[in-house]
Amino acid sequence: MFSAPLSMKKLSGAQIVIESLKAEGVDVIFGYPGGAILPTYDALLDSPIRHILVRHEQGATHMAEGYARVSGRPGVVMVTSGPGATNTVTGIADAYMDSTPMVVLTGQVSTSLIGNDAFQEADIVGITRPCTKHNYLIKDVKDVARIIKEAFYIAGTGRPGPVLVDLPKDVQQAEAVFKYPDKVDLRSYKPTLKGNLRQIERAVEAIEKSEKPLFYVGGGVQWSGAAGELTRLARGLGVPVCETLMGLGSFPASDPLCLGMLGMHGSYATNTAVCNTDCLMAIGARFDDRVTGRIADFAPKAETIIHVDIDPSSISKNVKVDIPIVGDIRSVLSDMLEVVQARESIARRRPAWAKWHQQILAWQKEKPLYENNHRNGDAVSPLQVIEELHNLTKGDCIIATDVGQHQMWVAQMFPFEKPRSLLTSGGLGTMGYGLPAGLGAKLAAPDRNVVVVSGDGSIQMNIQELATAVEYNIDVKVVILNNYFLGMVRQWQEKFYNTRYSYSAMAVPNFVKLADAYGVKGYRIERPGELVATMKEAFGTPGPVLIDVVIPREEGVMPMIPPGGSMSEMLFA
Amino acid sequence: MPRHTISVLVENEFGVLARVAGLFSSRGYNIESLTVNEDPVDPTVSRIVLVTSGDEQILEQINKQLNKLVSVIKISDFNGVDILERELVMVRIAVDDRTRSELDGIVNAFRAHVVDIGPRQVTVEVTGDDDKIKAFIALVRPLGIKEVVRSGKVAMARAIQLNSDHRGRRESSQEKVQS
């Protein structure tokens, strides 16, 4: 008897999936088993890949997002067909909006049953077509390895995004020889990485000519790993930097050139700077409506708008751009640094730009964010909570937020020094993102402190993942800013709907007891006097902890530019 | 709003038309004419020719979004390009002894063909650009049109560009820049 050489040995489609994931260096999968994906789950049991069993498939997608944002590598999700697959849609859409690399493997009914309304059948490829970067339905076991290779390549390169691979059960069971491709060659997908040098020179010339240059940076800087280049460029030139929600941490908050967040809840000084700049360079940002407000009034004095982005479709989509530069931000900024260093004349511009910077600092003094930090007697200010968690972590932590007022307070008040430190749902605005994202982050960076800041509404959208935190002893500190309201909805109703609170007040469970039921240590803070000691005790407790902090019911996020409005309509109270 | 003809070379795989069509529908853009065919020379690719309308900015977005699709290989936007456009139309027309010769005259003038004859109706195949098709329909309408089917438009850039503006040409020959 001759035994077949190893390279000719046939594996099942399921085994090929697992071998392919191993070849991609996947160390953790977030998932939930079910009928149509069972063959692959069976193969998974024999592999060294860690599997985190979530409590809801949406949780798996946000964990994968948190993992991806911290590690920079695609997060991997594995679920079954039908409801398992449809439950991932929100997380996939979230990852698509925030350019997060993710590979979602879904079980599917056998190819012979597809289209027959079989049990737990859903056309997940059709459903996710508009919210994935690309997706696949594998019909032949011989394609499994190639498609998984392509899925990781597409998810992680260019502008990152989610890729879904649908695996019919019979494809998982069929056999083929496993050979993982060395490289991907897609004639139709070739991201442009190197920026056009002439355009980069034009951009530098425009900056040099300007009196009031400003950088406006978004999440793309972090995905590209370009925070270092950005910091050198901005400091080298002395040009101030404002950041989008997704861009926070790209430039150290402690640097006086850092103006923090712009847009709807950006500070007076930062938005005034945007209104007065004569040369705006957008870097890995996409002119979202929460940033621009009314487009016609955005950066009205900017004679030149430069836009650096890897996605050509982001350029001139919302705002007409004068100097587009398509390319990977890190590569473009490196080239730009070289151009700048070779131009002696640009150094002579520093005094003029220092004057401009002084002007912005004067605006900051004139109208700071939250004068006196809103300390108001017998209630705990949410700003004090954020200040306290900064003290406890010495500023060195990853914060995952949910969506709403607490998210904006964190974005406004927490000084992020490093990239990949704020995990938040920016584009889609997904309540329920925070807790699972925090868990995924902790798995990607076990040595870092991970804090989840949530609201009483948001936390209830995926609170079941506390069970996951307990099962795997994932050490995250969950802080709920509890005002017994859907706070941001309430704020909009107060400002724009004559204080008619239509279904925004909310009864909430006893979070401490709920935490206890899950096996999580719970704390509650109702008065300012309890804040420091209780937070300290909670943060000193190993393992997952939940802290329910009661804040004033009708506190607002200020300042605020009404939706579709402009700087002149900014509300301060 | 001006109309534009766009030719899209795509991977010949299932779902690709849904990706392209979905891109239009999700943004509220209409497709006015659409043809899809496997390339006879290279069967791994298909060519989609579509006609849409929109201003410059919408057109630019359509181009960029099409480029973003992983299954799209190349786009030829014929905006400002001298092109050959053709559409095939079959028209079933009511005839009687009185009108039969009148129809023959129209068919000859348009270099159309009679492809099917019944006792009371004749089916004519006519090929041409928009204007020719419109003129033909206008002339046979009084005779009584029973049924019309149109193939949708196919298009190709002319070998010699006499009247094109340069911008359009450059864009049309631009290789895919991918996000």
Question: For residue range A182-210, what is the model confidence (pLDDT) as tens digits?
Answer: 999 899 999 999 999 999 999 999 999 99
Query: What is the interface pTM, i.e. ipTM, of the complex?
Result: 0.85
Residues 112-151 of B with CB under 8 A from A: none
B178 pLDDT above the threshold of 80? no
pTM of the predicted model as reported, rounded to 2 decimal places: 0.94
Reported for B141-147, long-range contacts at CB under 8 A and 24+ positions apart, including other chains, are B143/B93, B143/B94, B143/B95, B143/B99, B143/B102, B143/B103, B144/B93, B144/B94, B145/B91, B145/B92, B145/B93, B145/B94, B146/B92, B146/B93, B146/B94, B146/B121, B147/B91, B147/B92
Sort out which chain B residues have CB atoms less than 8 A from A133's CB and list them. Answer: 70
DSSP annotation string for A57-81: HHHHHHHHHHHHHHHSSPEEEEE-S
A316–chain B nearest CA distance, Å: 8
Residues 177-206 of A with CB under 8 A from B: 186-192
Show the domains of chain A with their CATH numbers.
7-177 (3.40.50.970), 197-366 (3.40.50.1220), 371-557 (3.40.50.970)
The predicted structure's pLDDT at residue A375: 63
**Residue A417: C-alpha distances to residues A216, A268, A489, A490 (Å):** 17, 22, 30, 32
A377 pLDDT above the threshold of 80? no
Question: For residue range B102-155, what is the model confidence (pLDDT) as tens digits?
Answer: 999 999 999 999 999 999 999 999 999 999 999 999 999 999 999 999 999 999
Nearest Cα neighbor of A373 from A383, A363, A362 is A383
Question: For residue range B30-65, what is the model confidence (pLDDT) as tens digits?
Answer: 899 999 999 999 999 999 999 999 888 888 889 999
Residues A469-495, mean pLDDT to the nearest whole number: 97
A411 pLDDT above the threshold of 70? yes
Sort out which chain B residues have CB atoms less than 8 A from A317's CB and list them. Answer: 61, 64
- Say if B27 is an interface residue toward chain A (CB within 8 Å): no
Residues A120-149, mean pLDDT to the nearest whole number: 97
CB contact under 8 A, B178 and A129: no
B22–chain A nearest CA distance, Å: 7
Tell me, yes or no, if A57 is annotated catalytic.
yes
DSSP state of B86: E
- Residues B130, B85 contacting (CB under 8 angstroms): yes
CB contact under 8 A, A313 and B61: yes
> How does the average pLDDT of chain A come out, rounded?
96
d(CA A514, CA A546): 10
Sort out which chain B residues have CB atoms less than 8 A from A154's CB and list them. Answer: 70
Spell out where A174-328 has E strands. Answer: 175-177, 213-217, 241-243, 258-261, 279-283, 304-309, 323-326
- Say if B179 is an interface residue toward chain A (CB within 8 Å): yes
Order across the sheet with B45-53: list the strands: B31-38, B45-53, B3-11, B72-77
A376 pLDDT above the threshold of 70? no
- Say if A316 is an interface residue toward chain B (CB within 8 Å): yes
A9 pLDDT above the threshold of 90? no
Question: For residue range A465-478, what is the model confidence (pLDDT) as tens digits?
Answer: 999 999 999 999 99
CB contact under 8 A, B177 and A192: yes
A69–chain B nearest CA distance, Å: 19
- Say if B55 is an interface residue toward chain A (CB within 8 Å): no
Q: Is omega for the bond preceding A300 within 30 degrees of 0, making it cis?
A: no
Residue of B nearest to A156 (CA): B179
- Residues A551, A380 contacting (CB under 8 angstroms): yes
Token pair recorded at residue A15: 């085994």
A373 pLDDT above the threshold of 70? no
Tell me, yes or no, if A209 is annotated catalytic.
no
- Residues A84, A107 contacting (CB under 8 angstroms): yes
H helix runs in A189-297, sequence order: 197-209, 220-224, 227-237, 268-276, 289-292
Least reliable range by pLDDT among A129-133, A429-433, B172-176: B172-176
B160–chain A nearest CA distance, Å: 28
Residues A8, A119, A209, A495: which is the catalytic one?
A: A119
Confidence of residue A6 (pLDDT cuts 50, 70, 90): low
A329–chain B nearest CA distance, Å: 12
Nearest Cα neighbor of A202 from A325, A108, A99 is A325
Residues A384-392, mean pLDDT to the nearest whole number: 96
Show the domains of chain B with their CATH numbers.
3-82+159-173 (3.30.70.260), 83-155 (3.30.70.1150)
Residues A280-304, mean pLDDT to the nearest whole number: 95
- Who has greater pLDDT, A316 or A489? A489
A316 pLDDT above the threshold of 90? no
Instruction: Closest CB to B176: pick one of A125, A188, A317.
Output: A188
The predicted structure's pLDDT at residue A317: 87
Residue of A nearest to B16 (CA): A129
User: Counting Cβ atoms within 10 Å, is residue B73 exposed (0-12), middle (13-18) or buried (19+)?
Assistant: buried
d(CA B105, CA B103): 5
d(CA A297, CA A369): 23
A271 pLDDT above the threshold of 60? yes
The predicted structure's pLDDT at residue A372: 57
Question: For residue range A532-555, what is the model confidence (pLDDT) as tens digits?
Answer: 999 999 999 999 999 999 999 999
Sort out which chain A residues have CB atoms less than 8 A from B176's CB and list them. Answer: 188, 190
Sort out which chain B residues have CB atoms less than 8 A from A186's CB and list them. Answer: 70
The predicted structure's pLDDT at residue B166: 47
